[in-house]
Chains A and B, each alone.
Chain A
């Protein structure tokens, strides 16, 4: 726990099985008060199932769910203080925007006037002033998205659950809504738990990211930690682009640590404590690898062959191969004078050994 206050949500050894399918396994996770936590993972990894268990729509097969300190395993959704923004939004098609937003207030015992006032305020919050009387079926995708948000937020829940909240939007709108969601979160100060399989979205919006793979929690940390210090091979590979090679520790406790992979030696950070002979993987991000003169001073420096160059505007991607045929991808700022003549030629590449991540090999 980072702070002493009680977590908003505490999942303990949560398991969910659908017949033979194990959707969630032994998941333990805390969501701090006011945090924006994103569940990120590949398709079918159990993100939605986890969120649905928190919202009360699935019963855990095993384990406990605490919301603000209270065990809620047996509570139906309408008795939980969470509110959900569903992936398909699930607005009520037979109601107006105002009726949709006021719906949750009905069950808080508010009278008609108060409901209307609150709904109008919520509309303002999401930037939809003046749409109170509109039929929801006549709204655009982005407007529907905002109505769904307003409908959930108007009841002032302490925790908001969002399943792929921006999944249905086009790229431009998605980016704008990412910023708006983050703003909204900061403004309201309540906990947001979002599900996404879009890592850029997760990195942009979240205070912390929980990476889930095959129903298991791989790592939960800040976006920076997740990107810079992945704790498992899966996370290293899943987040961002990664060059991963397998090798064996060949020197330790001699001031420098080295790793031998397929006949080539690589320097690795000394803070990693491994023993000689350990089987490990080494990960280095394409954009942390330098070429040409910039390599000077790096312990890791190699002469490699350029196989291909992909020009991508801001950057260029070099596909290179080492003398031992090990391949890597490199991303460097594009230069206007570069031509394809590099292809097939030799260049020098290198990287700071502190920019590498070394992890114990997972037995597969």
Chain B
């Protein structure tokens, strides 16, 4: 979505009623954020909306980008937010070999997740349950972590359910929404 460098468009204040709606939407999509929501989206502080190219809206609080949204699609977290609250999102892990493809903006393919270095929900090798137990449906927003790394490198929406991935082990797994080093990451606000 942000393969090219972008520059921010018009910035406007979000009305408090809209701000409440956004807060609720965030909680509906990411229920695990509940304990931190007052820190992330304080009720009393002014949220700003920055327009980005291709009908993407970016929500910014005091200069810190929090969530972005293409038209009326799901609100997706900015990676800097993911890095602060990594456990509040559904996560998957790619193997080391897939990292450089993801960082160049390629669509994530299933083998990067199903190989031994990858992790999908319910993986027996995932003893701490970091990647969850329940399979995820297509259309679910996910955070992509990487083998041997602590921090996430991508945020996207699943094109294929994780159950399906385990079965077919090929095809497009996840649309590249936002990845480390892309236009959104390097955006100067």
Asked whether A and B interact, the reply is no
